[in-house]
Amino acid sequence: MRLKQYLNEKRIRRFKFKKQKKRIDPIVRIKKAESIVKKGLAKLTKELSSIGWSIEFFDLLKIMSSIWKKNRINFIPDEGLVRMKELKNAKYMDSGDTDIDGDIELQITTRIMDYISKKQNKESLSSIKNEFAQEFIRVLSHELVHRAQWQSYGDIVHNSILKNKKVKDSYVQYKEYLKSPHEMMAYAQDAAYEIFQDREPGIYYLYQSWFDDEPEVFKSFVKIMKKSYEKISDGEELIIEIR
């Protein structure tokens, strides 16, 4: 099985890159994402209220980029309709990119403007339970998986990630992207987190529908997802029957 082969190879790579080895633990990453998002949103709420919540989209992205600069997160406008956005339940933030230095770029849709105008004076943006924060945490914790992958495996993963990034345009290529071991790892964590929070398991359904004809891929995904879930929920087992 491909994934198993990959994991075996990875063990060898891990040995080679021992110096840079980072612990990849979903709960640590999600907690980190939560804290990064929460702290930044508190600052954003403060800044926005100081200017009476009136701001243009691009200025908002600029302010956000400066707030999260120390976490090396930059915000850019969403490039448009990204495939499978709906299935991923993405509204304000569809995806991100992490480069070889670990710098993260997050794409924001203009829907954020509606959200901010609704939120003003009513509720703080900084509550991690709010819709935008939830999405932010999900996308960021996914990118933190990639940051850790970079830090652990560096150049070896570099080429395959770059290859997979550029090829999301066709059906087959999107499938290859979802199937690549580092994406499976990152999405499995996202899926586990969604289930843990009792949200609509969009990522789980995404993999289920895309790999309906490749049950062994889906099974591998579920296996990684269950492991992530166990870590996130502090030992609780996730029981899912796959037909």
**DSSP structure string for 175-234:** HHHHHSHHHHHHHHHHHHHHHHTT---HHHHHHHHHTTT-HHHHHHHHHHHHHHHHHHTT
| Minimum distance, C-beta of residue 146 to Zn ion, in the bound complex (Å) | 6
Given its phi and psi angles, is residue 54 left (phi above 0), alpha (psi -120 to 50 degrees) or beta? beta
Measured from the CB atom, the residue of 116 and 185 that comes closer to Zn ion is 185
Q: For residues 92 and 111, is the Cβ–Cβ distance under 8 A?
A: yes
How many CB atoms sit inside 10 A of residue 215's CB? Answer: 11
Q: Which residue is nearest to Zn ion (CB)?
A: 186
Measured from the CB atom, the residue of 116 and 225 that comes closer to Zn ion is 225
Name the phi and psi angles at 125, rounded to 5. -70, -20
Measured from the CB atom, the residue of 148 and 186 that comes closer to Zn ion is 186
| Minimum distance, C-beta of residue 97 to Zn ion, in the bound complex (Å) | 8
Strand order in the sheet with 93-98: 73-77, 104-108, 93-98
| Minimum distance, C-beta of residue 95 to Zn ion, in the bound complex (Å) | 7
Measured from the CB atom, the residue of 47 and 103 that comes closer to Zn ion is 103
| Minimum distance, C-beta of residue 85 to Zn ion, in the bound complex (Å) | 14
Q: Which residues bind Zn ion (CB under 5 A)?
A: 183, 186
Measured from the CB atom, the residue of 135 and 183 that comes closer to Zn ion is 183
Question: What's the sign of the alpha-carbon dihedral 19, 192, 201, 136?
Answer: negative
| Minimum distance, C-beta of residue 165 to Zn ion, in the bound complex (Å) | 9
